[in-house]
A and B are shown apart, each in its own frame.
Chain A
Amino acid sequence: MEGRIAPYWNRYVETLPRERLLAVELERFRQMLSYAKEHSVFCRDRYSHIEPEDVRTMTDVRSLPLIDKEDLRRAQDEKEPFPFGDMLGVAPDEVSVFRQTSGTTGKPVYVPESWESWQWRVEVWCHILWMAGFREQDRVFIPFGYNVYVAFWEGHFAAEKLGCMVVPGGALDTKGRINKIREVKATALLNTPTYGLHLAEEAAKMGLRASDLGIKRMVCAGEPLPHATRERLEDVWGAEVYDHIGGTEPCAWAAMCGERRGLHIMEPFFLVEFLDMDTLSREVEEGELGVAVVTPLGRRSFPLIRFNTKDVVRKGKDGCACGRTSMMIEAVAGRADDLRKIRGVLFTPVSVEELLRAEFPSITEYEIIVRKKGVMDQISLRIEPSEEMGEPVMKEMMTRLSERLKIKTNLTFLIEPVSPGGLPRYTLKSKRFKDRREEEGGEC
């Protein structure tokens, strides 16, 4: 819980009145813009007509062009200094670590960190873990080989900096990881939501209850975490489960506090805007969906000004019972990349995840596939129950699921049951949504 001795990682920053937070951020924004123009070829060209000193208000900020992932790919694209190209903001010999994006939406983006920038990222993660109640007494198990992907490295280094005992769990199978959790008496996990559920499922096969493994808190990364999935994880693990949002390019920029009602923007590390999805020019109101545009304010090795994350979030109300004064996100709705028009209806896969986790606990795994049948889109949902079900029970569940999906998404799904164990399991990013309309073409 919040009150594990010191509630804040940095009470000076976290309780600063909003107008002063914004003043700090605007000052930092000017400094970062000035630095970026001087040190990154991409930023020098992109912002040649802008004087940092002229950026005094949020309206001025919004007049600057956005950067998106495609811009980053073009700025790198085999250019020198390889592999970071025009995006690099420090001398090449200052780069101390290489990271990259997962490449889910195309060619991966390569992200350089200098020692200084890495310390800045770790500091952001210290805030995140501290808000989630991680303390010196915790034994933190991270059940992954982290490879070149950043989130678990950040969590690892931040947990070390907090003084926790970190146990890296790569190069083990799931059973081995469950045994390791027991062996070291782990108290905390850094996890993807999918793998958190999978670990619990595997523990059950070993005759163990996840809630008996001693895990008290868990921070999830790598995938959207709808409210229902978070509750399911809390239920099976008997632990507090915390969400955060971020990415390889900008770092993690919002996270949950002990109240676990929405996410706090990690101010003043980032200047964050929520823009309307149609024009990307208007700041949305509280309760409205918007696309998050993020400027990391202290990371010089990879300067980003107004990076369009394509994360769609519902803007929250200012103020939280925890006393922090940062802006809030009410919920993460998904990725603009995942928003699809299917038969003219705007669809996000998170809505299916939410429904299944909240109302159909006997479905452990699923997959959504969209295809073209003639001129029509067809959306199917493959569902895998936790154990074999008799035909009448399965039929009844499919009818109920079909009705609930129709109400929730306004789409009619073709539902296909799959035998237990028949669908793939994921450790890092899950790929449960497959839009095959373009690759397959129309079938008559």
Chain B
Amino acid sequence: MAPEDRLILLEIKDRIDGIERLALELKDLGKGVPAIQKNARSILGVTHALRFGISDIVEIECAQGRGE
């Protein structure tokens, strides 16, 4: 993978982790308010899909990069 791609991916992974963290905090803060809890859950469903296609790749790329 090109070094510039790796850098962009790291940035993206960082944002995905951030969204996930915020969604979890939101879910927690919204205890007893279904409108917050259920929408936060929806966000987490999407970050799961994003982690799958992006964050995993970054982790493997970084591990491989360290090994090279």
Contacts and interface: CB of A to CB of B under 8 A. Distances in A.
Secondary structure call for the A interface:
helix
Contact of A10 (B1, B44, B53): B53
A123 B51 CA distance: 11
Contact of A119 (B5, B9, B48): B48
A24 B62 CA distance: 12
A269 interface: yes
A98 interface: no
A32 to B, nearest CB: 11
25 contacts: A12-B5, A12-B54, A13-B57, A16-B1, A16-B57, A20-B60, A20-B61, A20-B64, A23-B60, A24-B56, A24-B57, A27-B59, A28-B56, A115-B41, A115-B42, A115-B45, A116-B45, A119-B46, A119-B48, A120-B45, A120-B52, A123-B49, A268-B52, A268-B56, A298-B49
Nearest to A23: B60
Interface of A: 10, 12-13, 16, 20, 23-24, 27-28, 115-116, 118-120, 122-123, 268-269, 297-298
A12 B48 contact: no
Contacts of B64: 20, 23
Interface string B22-66: 000000000000000000011011101100111011011101100
Given A12-B5, A20-B64, A23-B64, A119 B49 contact: yes
Nearest to A22: B60
A268 B54 CA distance: 11
Contact of A118 (B1, B44, B45, B60): B45
A123 B59 CA distance: 20
Nearest to B57: A12
A79 to B, nearest CB: 27
A120 B49 CA distance: 5
Contacts of A269: 52
Contact of A27 (B5, B44, B56): B56
B9 A12 contact: yes
**What 3 A-B pairs are tightest by C-beta distance, nearest first?**
A119-B45, A123-B49, A116-B45
